Amino acid sequence: MENHSNFIKTIIEADLQNKKHDEIITRFPPEPNGHLHIGHARAIVTDFESAKAYGGYTNLRFDDTNPVKEDESYVHAIIKDIRWLGYEPKQILYASDYFDEMYERAIVLIKKGLAYVDQQSADQIAQTRGDVNTPGDKSPYRDRSIDENLKLFQDMKDGKFKEGECVLRAKIDMESPNMNMRDPVIYRISFAYHHNTKDKWCIYPMYDYAHPLEDAIEGITHSLCSLEFEDHRPLYDWVVRETEMPKIPRQIEFGRLNIENAVLSKRFLRAIVEDGKVIGWDDPRMPTLAGMRRRGYTALAIRNFILSTGLSKVNSTVSTDMLEAAVRDDLQDKAYRAMGVINPLKVTITNYPENEIEYIESEYHQDHPEYGSRNIPFSRHIFIEEEDFILEKPNKKYKRLALGIEVRLFHAYFIKANEVKYDENGKIVEVLATYDKETKSGSGFDERKPNGTIHFVETSHAIPATFNFFEPLINDDKNLPLLERFNDDSWHVKKGYVEHALKNTKPQDKYQFVRNGYFNVDDDSKQDNLVFNEIVPLKSSYK
Ligand code: ATP
Ligand code: MG
């Protein structure tokens, strides 16, 4: 992992060479207003790996400067997800812990004549900012005296104004080509209750003022963020410089990660959670870390996926194939192989003795004998998949069971289908077959080649199971508004059986059901009601 070089590391290495810092310190600064998604994983991996590579560290800092939208439950979820991804923050901090210092620094600005209390309405301020082609108009309050500003700012803090009556603005340049520099608002009045500072404050710092100060206070050396903050960098630099912070952090932007057919926006994800369109933030279809974990994605697969997308200075959209490849790569070696039959069809082996049962010892993973083995039961009665039988072999490519055709059963014998039974609707409900005792797996029998290999589960030992299959949460129709693109048919439930050895399997156990795909035991799975989530199918060439 250490070997991935990128433009951020190049900057850090130059800074180290120039002895700019003794230690590299980064931070991950989520707003606690939702759960983390796979896009955040790019920021987390970038923040932590960039510091770790040079022996430095990373803080987790909750950006809780907006009292209205935030919620304590998200704080816990975010910490849990970061740890699950494999990272331990050096410190867990809250931007709101710095409100006092931010206030003091605002006074520094006022005293330098670099901030003023503006009593225009929010609308007036917006209307007088101008646009890219037109300079903004100076506020009539822009040239108040320092003393007057100090007094009014104190009054704002003391609750003497109503919400919206006035704001504190930085006095920078109303003609700047960069709109962010046109006297940005740095404090606003809000009488909202804050989860950390409670009722202490009725003025709150704006993000563009607060964030650079938070970084500077913590001694962050490299403040890594996504591309949309590029235009904010001049303001970031202005704030840390003019407030006279002793340590100056450097902001570096990287491209956002988007995934095809996934919406990486907390606002959208929160909307579908709140509307009950999904079962929660951890719905296995969600692109959240909690959802992906429940689906069965591993932390290593996600980290490797993020690293494989490369870090660049432009936003990128990556196909889900890459994500699926990363989890297959990880599970290829880790997941136990087992047999699960989805949509079962009964097969009776008419020449196998009634009431007899044998157990065939088989390894859980052909490349990993250390994973151990289990005894697979075999008898006269087995289930195969409906899909694995057809009356008449249609063509050469068909490598499954058919009347008069012989296939191998994984770990067991060759069987040949001879006859079928139908129900009153004409549906095939049972296949009558015969087996060849000489063909037992491992016996070295090679006189005939079977027409493919299929899997099975012995009926008397079979454990009933539910299998969940998922499709993207939104469809491809990019012309529709997001909420209308929601795919109501994105969760399919199928019933079947798994082999007996999986009886005591627990949530988060992962299997490759041979010929089907990789599956994860769902968090709500119970011993008497096993539930498996399809993580990814096998690559079609392996089917
Ligand atoms: P959302 O748009 O989902 O609400 P956000 O950027 O507002 O995301 P924050 O909690 O502020 O959410 O995000 C914390 C950090 O994660 C920010 O520095 C942000 O730049 C980064 N981040 C969020 N989404 C992505 C993404 N898709 N790719 C890369 N970084 C991201
Ligand atoms: Mg944000």
Separation of CA 230 and ligand 2 centre (Å): 13
Phi, psi dihedrals of residue 522, rounded to the nearest 5°: -65, 155
Residues 224 and 263 in one domain: no
| Section 341-348 average pLDDT | 97
Per the domain annotation, does 416 fall within a domain? Answer: yes
Whether 42 lines ligand 1, by a CB cut-off of 6 Å, is: yes
Q: Place 225 in a pLDDT band, splitting at 50, 70 and 90.
A: very high
478 in a domain, yes or no? Answer: yes
Cα-flanking dihedrals φ and ψ of residue 226, to 5°? -80, 165
Question: Looking at 2-16, 190-204, 248-262, 286-300, which range is the least confident one?
Answer: 2-16
CB 511 within 8 A of CB 530: no
Indicate if 270 belongs to the active site: no
pLDDT at 43 > cutoff 70: yes
- Whether 411 and 439 have beta carbons less than 8 Å apart is answered as no
Same domain? 317 vs 389: no
pLDDT of residue 3: 53
List pLDDT tens digits, range 456-475: 999 999 999 999 999 999 98
Ligand 1 centroid–CA 316 distance in Å is: 14
Residue 31 is among the residues annotated as catalytic for this protein: yes
Which of 225, 257, 289 terminates a domain? The answer is 257
**Is 1 among the domain residues?**
no
Calpha distance 466→382 (Å, rounded): 18
Q: Give me the CATH number covering residue 314.
A: 1.10.1160.10
| Three-state DSSP state, 8 | helix
Q: Does the residue 344 lie in any domain?
A: yes
Which range is least confidently modeled, 2-11, 322-331, 491-500, 527-536?
Answer: 2-11
* Nearest ligand to the C-alpha atom of residue 60: 1
Q: Evaluate whether residue 542 is within a structural domain.
A: no
Q: What is the mean pLDDT of residues 519-532?
A: 97
User: Do 85 and 211 lie in a common domain?
Assistant: yes
Which of 240, 257, 274 terminates a domain? The answer is 257
Taking each helix axis from N to C end, the angle separating 7-17 and 38-52, rounded to the nearest 10 degrees, works out to: 30
User: Are 79 and 217 part of one and the same domain?
Assistant: yes
Burial state string for 172-203 with b = 16 or more CB within 10 A and e = fewer than 16? bebebeeebbbbbbbbbbbeeebebbeeebbb
Q: How many helices (H) and strands (E) does the chain have?
A: 12, 29
Q: Which of the four pLDDT bands, split at 50, 70 and 90, describes residue 420? A: very high
Helix (H, G, I), strand (E, B) or coil at 517: strand
DSSP 3-state assignment of 241? helix
d(CA 291, CA 262): 13
Statement: residue 16 has pLDDT above 60: yes
Q: Is the pLDDT of residue 5 over 60?
A: yes
For the chain, how many structural domains are there in total? 3
Q: Is the dihedral of CA 142, 147, 148, 153 positive or negative?
A: positive
29 within ligand 1 shell (Cβ under 6 A) = yes
Please report, for the domain that includes residue 475, its CATH number: 2.40.240.10
Judge if 168 and 292 occupy the same domain.
no
Query: 28 with 81, same domain?
Result: yes
Taking the CA of residue 256 as reference, the ligand 1 atom at the shortest distance is 28
Higher pLDDT, 402 or 444: 402
Which pLDDT belongs to residue 364? 97
Select which of 31, 101, 386, 430 is catalytic: 31
Residue 63 CA to ligand 2 center (angstroms) comes to 9
Mark whether 81 and 193 lie in a shared domain. yes
- Does the pLDDT of residue 283 top 90, yes or no? yes
- Do 223 and 262 lie in one domain? The reply is no
pLDDT at 540: 63
Exposed (0-12), middle (13-18) or buried (19+): which is 34, by Cβ within 10 Å? buried
278 DSSP assignment: S
Q: For ligand 1, say whether the CB of 30 is within 6 Å of any of its atoms.
A: yes
| pLDDT over threshold 60, residue 2 | no
213 and 309 in a single domain? The answer is no
pLDDT of 106 above 70:
yes
Please classify residue 248 by burial: count the beta carbons closer than 10 Å to its beta carbon, then call 0-12 exposed, 13-18 middle and 19+ buried. middle
Distance 265 CA to ligand 2 centre (A): 10
**Ligand 1 proximity of 69 Cβ (cutoff 6 Å):** no
Q: Is 31 in the pocket of ligand 1 (CB under 6 A)?
A: yes
**Does residue 264's CB lie within 6 angstroms of at least one atom of ligand 1?**
yes
In this structure, are residues 500 and 493 in contact, taking their beta carbons and an 8 Å threshold? no
Residue 216 has pLDDT above 80, yes or no: yes
97 touches ligand 1 (CB under 6 Å): no
Domain-embedded: residue 522: yes
Mean pLDDT, residues 94-117: 98
Based on the fold, state whether residues 212 and 321 are members of the same structural domain. Answer: no
* CA of 297 relative to ligand 1 center, distance in Å: 21
Tell whether ligand 1 has an atom less than 6 A from the beta carbon of residue 40.
yes
Tell which residue, 542, 543, 522, has the closest CA to residue 532: 522
Q: Which residue minimizes the CA distance to atom 26 of ligand 1?
A: 39
pLDDT digits (tens, 9 = 90+) for 164-191: 999 999 999 999 999 999 999 999 999 9
72 and 156 share one domain: yes
Q: Which ligand is nearest to the CA of 270?
A: 1
232 lines ligand 1 (CB under 6 A): no
Mean pLDDT of 368-385: 97
Which CATH number covers residue 150? 3.40.50.620
Distance CA 519, CA 533 (A): 5
Q: Specify the pLDDT at position 126.
A: 96
Residue 161 lies in a domain: yes
Residues 432-442 pLDDT 10s: 999 999 999 98
Residue 296 domain boundaries: 258-334
Nearest protein Cα to ligand 1, atom 2: 265
Of 14-18, 420-424, 477-481, minimum mean pLDDT range: 477-481
Closest ligand 1 atom to Cα of 266: 3
Instruction: Choose the weakest-confidence range: 52-56, 227-231, 308-312, 523-527.
Output: 308-312
Q: Please identify, by atom number, the ligand 1 atom nearest to the C-alpha of residue 224.
A: 18
Q: Give the residue from 337, 68, 27, 38 showing the smallest Cα distance to 211.
A: 27
Q: Catalytic residue at 105?
A: no
pLDDT confidence of residue 542: 45
Helix (H) or strand (E) holding 344: strand 344-349
pLDDT given for residue 541 in this prediction: 46
Which one of the listed residues 256, 270, 277, 393 is annotated catalytic? 256
More confident residue, 70 or 112: 112
- 410, pLDDT greater than 90: yes
Q: How many CB atoms lie within 10 A of CB 104?
A: 11
Distance of CA 148 from the midpoint of ligand 1 (Å) = 39
199 and 54 within one domain? yes
Q: How far is the CA of 529 from the centre of ligand 2 (A)?
A: 41
pLDDT of residue 155: 98
Measured from the Cβ of residue 149, the count of other Cβ atoms closer than 10 Å reads 23
507 in a structural domain: yes
- Of residues 117 and 483, the one with the higher pLDDT is 117
Which run of H or E residues covers position 15? helix 7-17
Q: What share of the chain has pLDDT > 70, as a percent? A: 98
Give the whole-angstrom CA distance, residue 268 versus residue 247.
Answer: 37
Average pLDDT over residues 510-532: 97
1-5, 62-66, 272-276, 398-402, range with the lowest pLDDT = 1-5
Q: Is 249 in the pocket of ligand 1 (CB under 6 A)?
A: no
Atom from ligand 1 closest to the CA of residue 265: 3
Ligand nearest to the CA of 28: 1
As a whole number, the mean pLDDT across the chain is: 95
Q: What is the pLDDT of residue 352?
A: 98
CB contact set of 89 (below 8 Å; sequence gap of 6+): 28, 58, 59, 60, 82
Q: Which pLDDT score is estimated for 42?
A: 97
Q: Which of 297, 314, 334 is the last residue of a domain?
A: 334
